[in-house]
Amino acid sequence: MTKDLSSLIALGLFLLYAVAFVCVYRVLLTYRTAPGAIAWIMGLLGAPYVTVPLFLFFGRNRFSGYVRARRMGDQSLQPLFDRFESQNSAIPLPSYDASDQGPFSDDLLVLSRLARQPFTTGNQCTVLRDGEATFQALFEAMESAARYILLEFYIVRSDRVGQRIKSILQRKLAEGVEVWFLYDDIGSFSLSRNYFSELVKAGARVASFGNGNVRRRRFQINFRNHRKLLICDGNIGFVGGINLGDEYLGTAMGQEPWRDTHCRIQGPAVLGLQLAWLEDWNWASDELPELDWPMAAPPAGEQDVLILPANPADSHETGTLFFLNCINNARERIWIASPYFVPDLQILNALELACLRGVDVRILIPEKSDNQMIRLAAYSYLVQASRAGIGIYQYQQGFMHQKVVLVDIRYAAIGTANLDNRSMRLNFEITALSTAAAFVTDIENMLLEDLKACRLMTARDYRDRSLAFRIGCRAVRLLAPLL
C-alpha cells in the first residue's frame, strides 16, 4: 500500500468519524426515546460506514423543513385559522381555569387544543364501510363540484379506480372546475408520471409532497404524507384509510378486497380538512390557492366534529398524545382497529392501565398483511397483552386496513393513523372525531360485525410457535422505531 493511498484512507476514516460524531451530537440534542438514541449512537460509533447513511436518511424525527415553512406560511394561514375559530359554528373553548367547561369533557378539550382547531357544530358525518361505498361517494362528490376539487392521497394507482378518478377530473377541468392534486411520491412511487402529466395538460395543479424544492427536502425521505383527503367546494369532504386503488374493491390481481373505512363530512368541519390540506399544499408548492372560507356554512346536520391533523412538525407529539388521551380517559371501553400494531412502551402501558381500571380493551389487527415485518412484530406483544387482559383480535377475511377508535359511548374517530411509531412520530396523519350518538353507534355496530370475522389471539399463538419464529418476532420488534 502506497503512502498516498494510506493517507487517503486515513483522511476518509477521519471524515467519516467526524460526520458520525456530528450525528451523535444530533441524536443527543433531539432524541425522543432513550433506547432509540442508544441504538443510533452504538451504530454510529461502531459501524459508521453503514449507520451514517442510514441516519442521514432515516434518523431525523423532526421535519425541520416543514417547521420552517410553517413559520413562514402561518403568517398567511393564521388569519384563516382565526376566521375558522370565530365562525358561528365553532364551539369556543373555555380556559383551563374556567369553572364552566361547556359541552365537552376535559379529554375532548385537550384534543381540540392539540388539533389547533375548534369543534364545530352543524355537521353530518357518514360512515363509509368499504371501498365500494367510498369510491361511489367520492365519484359523486367530484361530479357535483362547481368551483374546485382538492385531493391529497398517499397512494395513487393507475388502475381502474385511478383511471376513473382521472377521467372525472379531466371532465370537471373542461367545465371550468379548478383541481389541485397533492400526492406522496414514496407511497405512489410505482405510478407512471404520465398519469399526472395528463392532468396537468388538462389544467390541474399537481404537487408531490417529497419532491420539488430539493434543497429544502434533502435527507427527509423518512417523512411521508399518509393523509387521504378529498374536499369539494369547501362544503363536502372525505377522510379515512382508503387510498386510490383497486385493492379496496378486490379487483387488483384477483386478491381479496381490503377491509377499510372512510368518512364523508358535510358542514363547517370540512374547513378543518381544508386548512390541513392548504398547509400541506403550501409546503409542497410554495403557493396558497384562493379558496372559499364561508363564515358559517348552512347546517348539514347536528354533529359536533373535530378535525385533528398530526405531523412531525408539531410542537407536541400529536399522534402519540391523541392515542394516549383516548386510552387514558376511557372508562368502559376502548376499541381500536389498526392494520399495524407496533405500540411503544407508553402506549402499551396505557392499554394495561385501562384494563386494570376495568375497561374493555380490544385491538383489531389483520391476519393477512401487506407488511410481514409488522405482522411478525405484533406477535411479540401477545404474552404481555394476554397477561394484562388486552384483547387482540385478528381479522380473518382479507386485509383489514381501517384506522378507527371507539371510546365508551362518548365519541369515535376515523382517520389515517396507525398504532405504530411511524404514525405517531413520522407521518403526516389526520383524524375526524365525532361525539354524535348516531355516529358512535354506527362505528360500534361496524366493529361488532368486524369482530365476528375475527379470532381472539392468546399467548399460545406466540409460545407454541417455533423458537426461530419467536426469535424473529422479537428481533423485528427491535426495529419498531423504523417500521
User: Does residue 176 share a domain with residue 73?
Assistant: yes
Percent share of the chain, pLDDT over 90: 49
The residue annotated as part of the active site, out of 233, 246, 260, 280, is 233
Q: Are strands 178-183 and 333-337 parallel, antiparallel or unpaired?
A: unpaired
| Cell matching residue 237 | 369532504
Query: Which among 57, 483, 114, 482 is positioned nearest to 314, based on CA atoms?
Result: 114
Q: Within a domain: residue 105?
A: no
Query: Which among 170, 297, 284 is positioned nearest to 227, based on CA atoms?
Result: 284
Q: Within a domain: residue 205?
A: yes
Half-sphere exposure of 225 (CA within 13 A, CB side): 27
| Cell matching residue 41 | 449512537
Half-sphere exposure of 204 (CA within 13 A, CB side): 25
Judge whether residue 408 has pLDDT over 50: yes
Answer yes or no: 316 catalytic: no
Average pLDDT over the chain reads 84
Sign, CA dihedral 120-124-129-131, equals negative
Q: Within a domain: residue 68?
A: yes
The residue annotated as part of the active site, out of 166, 172, 228, 262, is 228
Query: Which among 313, 320, 424, 319 is positioned nearest to 62, based on CA atoms?
Result: 313
Answer yes or no: 368 catalytic: no
Q: What is the mean pLDDT of residues 124-130?
A: 95
- 194-227 as b/e: b if 16+ CB within 10 A: ebbeebeeeebebbbbbeeeeeebeebebbbbbb
Q: Within a domain: residue 228?
A: yes
Note the pLDDT tens digit of each residue in 336-368: 999 999 998 899 999 999 999 999 999 999 998
User: Does residue 430 share a domain with residue 341?
Assistant: yes
pLDDT of residue 92: 65
Domain end residue (candidates: 305, 329, 361): 305
User: Does residue 282 share a domain with residue 364?
Assistant: no
Q: Within a domain: residue 136?
A: yes
User: Does residue 281 share a domain with residue 150?
Assistant: yes
Judge whether residue 320 has pLDDT over 60: yes
Domain count, the chain: 3
Conformational region of residue 336, where left means phi above 0, alpha means psi within -120 to 50, and beta covers everything else:
beta
Write down the residue that cell numbers 372525505 correspond to: 238
User: Does residue 333 share a domain with residue 267?
Assistant: no
Percent share of the chain, pLDDT over 70: 80
Residues in the chain: 483
Judge whether residue 186 has pLDDT over 50: yes
| Cell matching residue 255 | 386478491
Asked whether 263 and 236 are in contact (CB, 8 A), the reply is no
Interatomic CA distance for residues 86 and 293, integer angstroms: 12
The residue annotated as part of the active site, out of 226, 304, 442, 450, is 226
Judge whether residue 32 has pLDDT over 70: no
User: Does residue 364 share a domain with residue 221?
Assistant: no
Which 8-state DSSP code applies to residue 158?
S
Write down the residue that cell numbers 393507475 correspond to: 158
Neighbours of 80 (CB within 10 A): 18
Asked whether 380 and 465 are in contact (CB, 8 A), the reply is no
User: Does residue 75 share a domain with residue 47?
Assistant: no
More confident: 292 or 353: 353
- Three-state DSSP class for residue 270: helix
User: Does residue 347 share a domain with residue 270?
Assistant: no
pLDDT band (50, 70, 90) for residue 461? confident
Answer yes or no: 201 catalytic: no
* ∠ CA 5-7-13, rounded to 5°: 105
Give the distance from CA 414 to its chain's centroid: 10
Note the pLDDT tens digit of each residue in 390-401: 999 999 988 999
Domain end residue (candidates: 305, 332, 365): 305
Judge whether residue 74 has pLDDT over 60: no
Answer yes or no: 408 catalytic: yes
pLDDT of residue 72: 47
Note the pLDDT tens digit of each residue in 48-59: 766 777 676 665
CATH code at 379? 3.30.870.10
Q: Within a domain: residue 33?
A: yes
Q: Within a domain: residue 310?
A: no
The residue annotated as part of the active site, out of 159, 360, 408, 461, is 408
The residue annotated as part of the active site, out of 401, 420, 442, 450, is 401
User: Does residue 50 share a domain with residue 69?
Assistant: no
Interatomic CA distance for residues 162 and 135, integer angstroms: 10
Neighbours of 192 (CB within 10 A): 11
Neighbours of 440 (CB within 10 A): 18
pLDDT band (50, 70, 90) for residue 140? very high
Dihedrals phi, psi of 124, to nearest 5 degrees: -130, 115
Burial of 71 (0-12, 13-18, 19+ CB in 10 A): exposed
> Range of 35's domain?
3-58
C-alpha distances in Å from residue 131, one per residue of 32, 121, 240, 371, 403? 37, 28, 11, 20, 14
Which 8-state DSSP code applies to residue 298?
P
- Three-state DSSP class for residue 19: helix
Q: What is the mean pLDDT of residues 86-100?
A: 58
Query: What is the pTM (predicted TM-score) of this model?
Result: 0.84
User: % helix / strand / coil in the chain, to the nearest 5?
Assistant: 45, 20, 35
Q: Within a domain: residue 347?
A: yes
Q: Are strands 205-208 and 119-128 parallel, antiparallel or unpaired?
A: unpaired
Note the pLDDT tens digit of each residue in 230-259: 999 999 999 999 999 999 987 765 677 789
User: Does residue 84 share a domain with residue 51?
Assistant: no
pLDDT of residue 83: 72
User: Does residue 418 share a domain with residue 366?
Assistant: yes
Write down the residue that cell numbers 380473518 correspond to: 396
pLDDT of residue 172: 97
- Three-state DSSP class for residue 411: strand
Judge whether residue 472 has pLDDT over 90: no
pLDDT of residue 71: 47
pLDDT of residue 90: 72
Interatomic CA distance for residues 57 and 72, integer angstroms: 25
The residue annotated as part of the active site, out of 403, 420, 442, 450, is 403
Answer yes or no: 226 catalytic: yes
User: Does residue 400 share a domain with residue 451?
Assistant: yes
Answer yes or no: 401 catalytic: yes
